[in-house]
Amino acid sequence: MAKFYAMGNYTAKAFQGFIKDPTSDRSKAAQAAGDAVGAKMVSYDALRGTYDFIVVFEGTFEQAAGIKVATEATGALTNITICESINLSDIAGNAAKIAGAYKPPGQ
């Protein structure tokens, strides 16, 4: 299974919910979203900076994208960016194979 990092922002609607219930545990909501599609939530953290939260899931891209679509559709989350963990050595190995065979335009 691949590892995905979902970073996003809360909307004004979500912040109103936090004010109403400051003890709301969003990791449980993230866990439930992952469980619903068979993905495994590894971790959830609130952030300071450009994004308000990051959730790490193990699963497929389709599962991660489904979580994004469903949670953003509630109006409580926005700007969810999904990043996938990669093996840079495998990518570099493929690039090395291509580098000797590829000819740029005009050569």
Asked whether residue 40 carries a pLDDT value surpassing 90, the answer given is yes
Q: Tell me the pLDDT tens digit for each residue of 89-101.
A: 999 999 999 998 9
Nearest alpha-carbon partner for 26 in 44, 13, 8, 39 = 44
How far apart are alpha carbons 63 and 58 in whole angstroms?
9
Asked whether residue 68 carries a pLDDT value surpassing 90, the answer given is yes
In this structure, are residues 46 and 26 in contact, taking their beta carbons and an 8 Å threshold?
yes
User: What structural domains does the chain harbor?
Assistant: 2-101 (3.30.70.1060)
Q: How confident is the model at residue 17 (pLDDT cuts 50, 70, 90)?
A: very high
Query: What residues have CB less than 8 Å from 87, skipping those under 6 apart?
Result: none
- Helix, strand or coil for residue 49? coil
